[in-house]
Structure 1
Amino acid sequence: MTQVEHLAEFVTQASYEDLSEAARQQLKIRVLDSLACGIGALEGEPIQMLRAYLREVGGTEHCTLMATKARTSPDRAAFYNGALIRYLDYNDSYLASGETCHPSDNLGAVLAAAESADRHGRELLEALAVAYQVQCRLSDVAPVRAHGFDHTTQGSYAVAAGVSKALGLEGNKTAHAIAISGTAFNALRVTRTGTLSHWKGLAYPNTAFGGTHAALLAKQGITGPPEVFEGNKGFMDSIAGQFSLDWSKEDLERVTQTIIKKYNAEIHSQSATEGVLELQQEHGFSTEDIKRINIDIFDVAYHIIGGGEEGTKTEVHTKEQADHSLPYIVSVALLDGNVLPEQYLPQRIQQPDIQSLLQKVTVRPIESLSQRFPQEMPCRLTITLQDGRELVKEKQDYEGFHTRPMTWETITQKFHRLTQSYTDTSLRETIIQAVGNLETIKVKELTELLTQIQTPEGGIHHGK
């Protein structure tokens, strides 16, 4: 058997009964968290462009487009709903030593596949757990960031695996679906370096589109390279290097090691953001009192959001640049008291107060802190005030990290906060209840609720 055949065997044999009660609850928490992020993103600039695109191209009416009365093909639904979940950059993450990914990026595709196949909620959770396990474990053993590739590369295997599971493909077709997707979607890391574009939030939705498309092709009998992992010029040979992963020994519990964002900001900023707000609350200083802010942090955070190898983080003019700039994130937190979607509105980003304060922030990588990552998210914060006082705080995690997990109640609060502009209280409570009891309902019952959300400018109607 080839490696992809072993993986396909894991996918087809995975069962809802294999999930611990803790994993089932964490999956439901992440579904609700992801829907909150998706509904909260309805007015995002590229989301509006996608709605215009879908109005133009239409699609066979198999799957729900969130917050519209329109339906489209599973692959386009995976793209649009995935883009909603991803755009705010507020959804969950998984930290491996050489890679960081957002496993809930798979939900848009798995939801579309499960709806099109008329699955029950427990089958949705089963397929989503498969996608989480595949993406997280490949991130553990086969990181690609250092080779210049994006974390969506491992996601191409995960989304095809999850969609194949939701569609109920047998082992051979599942293997071909994964092989097609893994061969076709090796994305460049330039998506998240230098000047950031809309593609930062659309790269994984595009992978979700491709992985769903691959599974639909495999369903019809299209074949893919069976040695996609270990073959000549395959994933190991060309990108990742040699690794080993025994899928026969894998479970479905990796979701319990993923983490949720407390603040609407890049994941590696979470402990530092919580820390500066704690310092401000404890000492009562104003931003006018600040002379400088020094952040000592682990090297991954420095390179991605602190001004290291992925580019300067003190030139901030767009939402995509702002949510990947640690100087911006901690500065706007101190100025506004939180970091939510409104902190990334163009008029907020351009204000002189934030543009001035972020220039006072220095970020340094510290080896001793780097050695504690990813088991911890450590940082040391020093805020020097104009009167010479130095306020210092050290952090090892934040609320939402797996050492301090968020509760269902906290996630429901996040859901209410992000969705209140587009829903009434009754609809919000009904969606929360549906997700909380997902294993007892059909997927179409949930997607029907998502059509009742009010999209700005009237949504997509396809002439209806």
Structure 2
Amino acid sequence: MIAFRFRPCAPDARPAASDQLAWKLAELAAADRPVDDAAAALVGCRLIDNAAVAIAALNRAPVAAARAQALCFPRQGGARLIGLPEHIRIDCTWAGYANATAVRELDFHDSFFALDSSHPADSIMPLLAVAQQARRSGADLLRAVLVAYEVQTALVQGLPLQRHRIDHMAHLGPAVAAGLGALLSLPVPVIYEAINLAAHLSLGTRQVRKGRISSWKAFAPGHIGKCATEAIDRAMRGETSPSPIYEGDYGILAVLLGGHEAEVRLPPPDAPCRAILQTLPKAHSAGYHGQAIIDLALRLHGRLGDLSRVTSVTLHTKRMTHQVMGSGSGDPDKWDPAASRETLDHSAPFQFARALTDGFWHHDRSYDPSLISQPEFVTLWRKVQTVDDADWNHRFDAADPLAKHHGAGAVIRFEDGSEITEELAVADSHPRGRAPWGIADYVHKFRTLTDGIVSGPEGDRFLAQAADLMRLDRDGVAALGLCADLTAAVDGPRGLFDAAALP
């Protein structure tokens, strides 16, 4: 890897374009690189994963609303919408937006952790939509996804956002823009302009994941992908963008990241993009900080006897979990049975109590309001607290993303004064976990989540295409998608873009 250092610069010391971070990212995207076989195989797995979680969310309200918006922008030769028949084609900016919303809704796709967290698979649906409309091959799409993963993970490792209360979506826009540049084989100067604008438009505060979390959490990746797609289109037309977006005296480093220098590490021009291999799957529909916590609770289920005897549960964990999903957030909503699903999938106390009670985790049943509101469950739930633990922080701070410990140690105390202590360092599905995921696990997740929604032949067709992505021709990519042929997609509510809805 090549390390590039960047710092805020005074107006009279502005770096040349070729020395700026956005340019280095554009050079990464434009380089003709070899493809790593393991990384290519994982792209297929993540495409399967995206389709599975999107289909499972097909008729949830945010997904139906995004789909209804997209259907207002039909386009001959455009992109597919997840769940709808192949002949329905939509402008790629809106198809990418709606499909990415469907992927994000259940908080059930991949994650990456370094200085910050991210969901690199958020980039896949915008890239697929443009590939379909622009008539690109499977090899083109695969290369684009690998570039997007490389850019997003590099930024997450080099530019900390959370400590400055900036949302990690800020790294998604540049990743999608870079991926689109690779997909379309654009020259470095064009990709550079698009990355500058995408970075500028991707910025938002962490309030999106704080307090009573709203449905915007699902829409945000699609919105950012849409902005990046529009940034590419604009740059292709010769327009310029704010620069230097990272190093300028009013730029991201100076204004939002405390004026600190940054180091971003990128592969040399002749090396493959392999960052996807450092990203993590989800076995449970919940924020990644909760994956190992859910697995820990599942192991304890049935071993504690009468749960009404529990007087307290203390989860010793890393600061990020404590602050984002636990007691350190200061959000009473994380113990509120009337809280939104988006809030609960970011509540470690809820996840531990629910999995401990039920002995399973399900993307719908675990969030069933009738179960969540049961008095005995609420009583147990409110006994669960998190603690910012120095040892867990040290274990999470490992430089290698795959060496980080994401889990927690549970101390469970009972009325008689006894206690049980047990910990889990990483989720079972983690590469270092008890049951590391491979292609069979992604296929099983796909079959489970699409059961009753997608027929066997339709699912088989998609799985075969995704597994053979590298060899798909342009027609194959254009057809790549999944129709919910056993369950109708509901109509979303009408809005501004529906002419019939206007007075």
TM range (shorter): over 0.9
CA distance in 2, matches of 1:350, 1:448: 44
CA distance in 2, matches of 1:330, 1:409: 27
Task: Work out whether 1:60 is the aligned partner of 2:102.
Answer: no
Secondary structure of 1:308's aligned partner: helix
Tell me the residue number matched to 2:390: 367
CA distance in 1, matches of 2:391, 2:194: 43
CA distance in 1, matches of 2:305, 2:128: 46
Tell me the residue number matched to 2:46: 30
Task: Work out whether 1:327 is the aligned partner of 2:358.
Answer: no
Q: CA distance change for structure 1 residues 418 and 222 in 2, over 3 Å: closer, same or farther? A: same
Deviation at 1:444, TM superposition (A): 4.7
Deviates more, 1:318-327 or 1:403-412: 403-412
Check whether the contact 1:68–1:459 (CA below 8 A) recurs between aligned residues: no
Tell me the residue number matched to 1:413: 444
Task: Work out whether 1:295 is the aligned partner of 2:315.
Answer: yes
Secondary structure of 1:296's aligned partner: strand
Deviation at 1:385, TM superposition (A): 4.1
Structure 1: 5+ residue stretches without partners: none
Pairwise CA RMSD of aligned residues? 2.2
Q: CA distance change for structure 1 residues 27 and 49 in 2, over 3 Å: closer, same or farther? A: same
CA distance in 2, matches of 1:358, 1:284: 15
CA distance in 1, matches of 2:62, 2:372: 18
CA distance in 2, matches of 1:182, 1:198: 23
Tell me the residue number matched to 2:363: 341
Deviation at 1:153, TM superposition (A): 0.5
Deviation at 1:304, TM superposition (A): 0.5
Deviation at 1:193, TM superposition (A): 0.8
After superposition, the C-alpha distances for 1:247-285 in whole angstroms (9 at most, x for unaligned) are 46375111111111121111011112111111225x263
Task: Work out whether 1:259 is the aligned partner of 2:280.
Answer: yes
Secondary structure of 1:301's aligned partner: helix
CA distance in 1, matches of 2:489, 2:138: 31
Tell me the residue number matched to 1:392: 421
Secondary structure of 1:372's aligned partner: helix
Deviation at 1:387, TM superposition (A): 5.2
Secondary structure of 2:386's aligned partner: strand
Instruction: Give identity over the alignment, percent.
Output: 25
Show the 5 A alignment for 1:79-228: 79-96=97-114, 98-228=115-245
Secondary structure of 2:413's aligned partner: strand
Task: Work out whether 1:440 is the aligned partner of 2:471.
Answer: yes
Tell me the residue number matched to 1:309: 329
CA distance in 2, matches of 1:456, 1:165: 36
Greater per-residue helix proportion: 1
Check whether the contact 1:82–1:109 (CA below 8 A) recurs between aligned residues: yes
Secondary structure of 2:262's aligned partner: coil
Check whether the contact 1:103–1:136 (CA below 8 A) recurs between aligned residues: yes
Name which of 92, 103, 107 aligns with 1:74.
Answer: 92
Deviation at 1:181, TM superposition (A): 0.9
Check whether the contact 1:124–1:443 (CA below 8 A) recurs between aligned residues: no
Check whether the contact 1:272–1:379 (CA below 8 A) recurs between aligned residues: yes
Secondary structure of 1:245's aligned partner: strand
| 2:64 maps to amino acid | Q
Secondary structure of 1:264's aligned partner: coil
TM-score by length of 2: 0.85
CA distance in 2, matches of 1:108, 1:134: 16
Deviates more, 1:440-449 or 1:122-131: 440-449
CA distance in 1, matches of 2:376, 2:446: 30
| 1:243 maps to amino acid | A
Task: Work out whether 1:426 is the aligned partner of 2:443.
Answer: no
Q: CA distance change for structure 1 residues 227 and 251 in 2, over 3 Å: closer, same or farther? A: farther
Q: CA distance change for structure 1 residues 449 and 174 in 2, over 3 Å: closer, same or farther? A: closer
Deviation at 1:137, TM superposition (A): 0.7
Q: How many residues align?
A: 457
Q: CA distance change for structure 1 residues 66 and 188 in 2, over 3 Å: closer, same or farther? A: same
CA distance in 2, matches of 1:386, 1:43: 44
Task: Work out whether 1:49 is the aligned partner of 2:65.
Answer: yes
Q: CA distance change for structure 1 residues 207 and 89 in 2, over 3 Å: closer, same or farther? A: same
Check whether the contact 2:407–2:427 (CA below 8 A) recurs between aligned residues: no
| 1:300 maps to amino acid | M
Tell me the residue number matched to 1:39: 55
Tell me the residue number matched to 2:481: 450
Secondary structure of 2:53's aligned partner: helix
After superposition, the C-alpha distances for 1:170-196 in whole angstroms (9 at most, x for unaligned) are 221111111111122211111001111
Secondary structure of 1:300's aligned partner: helix
After superposition, the C-alpha distances for 1:189-235 in whole angstroms (9 at most, x for unaligned) are 11001111111121122111111111121122222134222123122
Secondary structure of 1:35's aligned partner: helix
Deviation at 1:87, TM superposition (A): 0.6
CA distance in 1, matches of 2:208, 2:428: 28
Structure 2: 5+ residue stretches without partners: 1-17, 398-403, 493-497
CA distance in 2, matches of 1:84, 1:368: 37
Q: CA distance change for structure 1 residues 348 and 125 in 2, over 3 Å: closer, same or farther? A: farther
